[in-house]
Amino acid sequence: MTQSANDNQIEVRNLWKVFGNNPELAFQDEFATASRAEIQEALGLVVALRDVSFKVDKGQIFVVMGLSGSGKSTLVRCLIRLIEATRGEVHFDGEDILQYSSEQLIDFRRQKIAMVFQHYGLLPHRRVLDNVAYGLEIRGADKETRYEAAAVAIETVGLKGWENYLPSEMSGGMQQRVGLARALAANSDVMLMDEPFSGLDPLIRREMQDELISLQTEIQKTIVFITHDLNEALKIGDRIAIMRDGEIVQEGSPEEIVTLPADDYVTSFVQDVSRAKVIQAKAIMQDPDVVVHEWQGPRAALHAMRTNDTDVVFVLGHDNILKGILTEDHAATLARQKVETLSDLDLDEALTAEPDAYIEDLIPMAAQTAHPIAVVNEGGRLLGEVHRGALLIGMVDTETDSESIER
């Protein structure tokens, strides 16, 4: 779906951060094409961010991914002016916060932004309930209001019953849930998450990733998520920006990052990633070979099948709602029985998937049937179909491989 300008909650324009004395020296014409290392050697300046621009839509998880030293942590700190940018603009809901006064900035941080840190940032002497309510306390909310909001957030992250425990009495994963609950309780427009799960054990980390994805379906917050883990980025991100030496080298959907890497650097990142985990049904589905409607008869279905050289059709009701599938043998039997319409018949059930389902979810389904998988929306309307061959093509890494499979 095309996003309008009004959908952009965050817009970063030409953002630079240069560390060192006289940072403006880095903007001289002679250094316009110089690398970070060349500028550092010539001027003693470190270009941490270099002309960074991107947009984040409302309700989107935007992941910034890169290795140590790529600039991702500097970027997230510049977004709320924990580090002051050297040049550029950072717009939230159309306002450039780099132009805010101290008072405006304090109000912005309290009202619009919530942060979740890698190391939790919990107050060790405060129980869970008070840690979660802390952001609202800073805002000046009364005790009853903040405790009520905190209790809801604690239950949301699965910690009901732990309200009166201290952080030291909880596991790392539980402490991270407390940090997430604190961000939720603040009910801010935007959440910034700076490598929040990187210090957790792999199993707990996966659980927290799943928790975040599940929560996002309910809360629909705008989230900027920082990570060095590509698999994590691909799993949770609606869009991903990959950084190197302070620059964004590629931005796109998880599928675009994996299937269309911008350069050798990105290619090296994604070479071991399974395409089955990032390519969705909507990318490989095709229009149905043939369909019939339930008010038509079995003879019409047989004619459609023979004309299109297939032995199965999808049967649709009003508004293209999928009712089931009809095989050639079944249609022939109905025709001999002089059945006039396909309405109210006991049709075979079609295997269905939503358009956002990944190939890895479709493969087990394809093993259960020789028929195409129907791709439907939440209301059951038929959008397309996926054949086994499309699953194979979607999993290969090169156009050459795809062509060989098609042949």
Q: Matching CATH topology for 5-112+188-273 and 282-395?
A: no
Is the full-model pTM beyond 0.85? no
Residue range 5-112+188-273 in CATH 3.40.50.300: yes
End-to-end CA distance of the chain: 33
CA dist 374 and 354 (Å) reads: 9
How confident is the model at residue 388, as a pLDDT? 84
Which residues of the chain have a pLDDT value below 50? 1-5, 397-407
CA dist 335 and 351 (Å) reads: 25
The three-class DSSP label of residue 88 is: strand
CA dist 216 and 222 (Å) reads: 9
- Residue-range domain boundaries for the chain: 5-112+188-273, 282-395
Encode 165-196 in three state secondary structure.
CCHHHCCHHHHHHHHHHHHHHHCCCEEEEECC
Architecture of the domain made up of 282-395: Roll (3.10)
CA dist 192 and 196 (Å) reads: 10
For residues 370 and 265, the answer to whether their CB atoms sit within 8 Å is: no
pLDDT tens figures, 49-63:
999 999 999 999 999
For residues 207 and 173, the answer to whether their CB atoms sit within 8 Å is: yes
Structure letter (DSSP) for residue 311: S
Q: Which two tokens stand for residue 255?
A: 């599928």
The three-class DSSP label of residue 276 is: helix
The three-class DSSP label of residue 351 is: coil
